[in-house]
Amino acid sequence: MAKAAFKPQRAMWSKLFTYDYWMESTGVPIHKGFYVEDLRTLELGWWEERQCMTAFIQLMGQEGVSSARVTEIPAGQTLAPLKFALDEIVYVVAGRGLTSIWYDNSGTKKNFEWQQHSMFLIPHGCTHQLTNMQGDKPVRLLYYSYLPLAMSAVSDPDFFFNNSYQGPDDLAEQEAYYSEAKMVQLPEGANPRGRGVYWYGNFFPDMRAWDKLDANERRGAGGKSVYIQFPNSEVFAHMSVFAARTYKKAHRHGPGRVIVIPAGEGYSIMWEEGKEKVVVPWHECSVFVPPNRWFHQHFNVGAAPARYLALHSPMQFYGHAEKVEDRAKDQIEYPDEDPWIRKKFEEELAKRGLKSLVPDEAYANRDYEWSKAMGKQ
């Protein structure tokens, strides 16, 4: 029996997009709200067309911008080959496996292995196949792309899945990147945002282990970060690491960024300016999305450094003020924050028998130097 054509019924000024109708048409679970507590235990459903267990994630702040879904591969099995028209990030939630990737009508084929907390990019127009190399437990993978935006421009899903169009074979030049990503150190002043370290490549073996980080003093807590760039792609990401018993300054930006926790225990607070605050608890393999222009603030209540990986929406949605004098509108300094923020943090630490490492001076001095404080620990 032939597959029925997908024809969404659109209404003028609707807040539902073509992507929303398409998700519903698959019949698999769609998880909404502000966060997913644990991707490893997320409820999945059978996706007949792809012959696998899957769930879509559409948290508040993703709508119409970014796509996220979790797919499971049973022990020792291989998913059917898939050709996808967009660049797609894959993050390994659990398990160990193998990716095979190739361009149709080409003799070039790449294979690489991955493990839990690996991340890799599947370039647009490639056919790829994923295998679970474990014989005793399933693999879970998180996929991220800009499919909602693309489907608002072209509403036919067949345009994006297994389209016969054949682009240029880029795998030969990308061969080195599937072995392991490389660090790029930019010359001083080369980046207008002040970041000097990038992680460049298609394959990142363990997001918990990368330690070549650049100071991000502006955001507080002695935090460090690294920006992640994929070859020949506008999809990008960054990862931040900050110390136990500290928290970052509140800030805001545009919609669609999916944040994954590779390591740590804590929570984030999110709020629209002047409105009620939402508390998002997190630990390893939690996911959340700060809605468009909502302030959000990350708190580490564990005994070890925490790290979060932000999968970015397109630069068109970056949402930061471009002029230095306007950036204060996008960040709240410690002396200016709601006193409840500090009070809640100290209460959460007390429940664990811990005390805050945020110095009193940071709440009084906007020019407080975190680098000196962290050096004393």
pTM of the model: 0.91
Is residue 293 exposed (0-12), middle (13-18) or buried (19+ Cβ within 10 Å)?
middle
Per-residue b/e over 117-128, b at no fewer than 16 CB within 10 Å?
Answer: bbbbbbbbbbbb
Please report the pLDDT score of residue 322 as a whole number: 46
What per-residue confidence (pLDDT) applies to 220?
Answer: 66
Q: Yes or no: say if 114 and 99 are a contact pair by the CB < 8 Å rule.
A: yes
Give SS3 for 39.
Answer: helix
What is the pLDDT, as a whole number, of residue 317?
Answer: 84
Quote the CA–CA distance of 235 and 229 in Å, as a whole number: 8
CA dihedral 161, 166, 168, 169 (to 10 degrees): 70
- Low-confidence residues in the chain, pLDDT < 70: 1-5, 107, 169-177, 188-196, 215-222, 319-328, 371-377
CA distance 287 to 267: 11
Would you say the CATH fold of 203-323+340-375 matches that of 18-168? yes
Domain residue ranges of the chain, discontinuous segments joined by +: 18-168, 203-323+340-375
CATH code of the region 18-168? 2.60.120.10
Level-2 CATH architecture, domain 203-323+340-375: Sandwich (2.60)
Answer whether 49's CB lies under 8 Å from 71's CB.
Answer: no
